[in-house]
Amino acid sequence: MTSKQRAFLRSIASKTDAIIQIGKDGIGENLIIQVDGALNNRELIKITTLETSPISAKDASIELANATKSEVVQVIGRKIVLFRRNPKQPKIIFKK
């Protein structure tokens, strides 16, 4: 992913709300399934790690990206933004 593509995705993510939260249970199989489904539907998702989470946002972003074969767009504070293109029905089109 190029820096321009990453900046474009960050601009989209700044206008969206977090749809998934990582709480005291950390990252489990159910959370990974939930993130995977959200990436299939939306391509770009925002995740919040709560204060009670046993894992940091940075570590969570790496673990979730590896588990879902997605890319980390950005991690700021407790917010994580992940992206994975849907090969069949892409929703986000990059400018050339």
- Classify domain 3-83 by CATH architecture: 2-Layer Sandwich (3.30)
pLDDT for 85 beyond 80: yes
pLDDT tens, position by position, 22-74: 999 999 999 999 999 999 999 999 999 999 999 999 999 999 999 999 999 99
Structure tokens at 84: 């994975």
pLDDT of residue 30: 94
Residue-range domain boundaries for the chain: 3-83
pLDDT of residue 96: 67
What residues form DSSP beta bridges with 82? 45, 72
Phi-psi region at 65: left, alpha or beta (left = phi > 0; alpha = psi -120 to 50)? alpha
Q: What would the mean pLDDT of 17-26 be, rounded to a whole number? A: 93
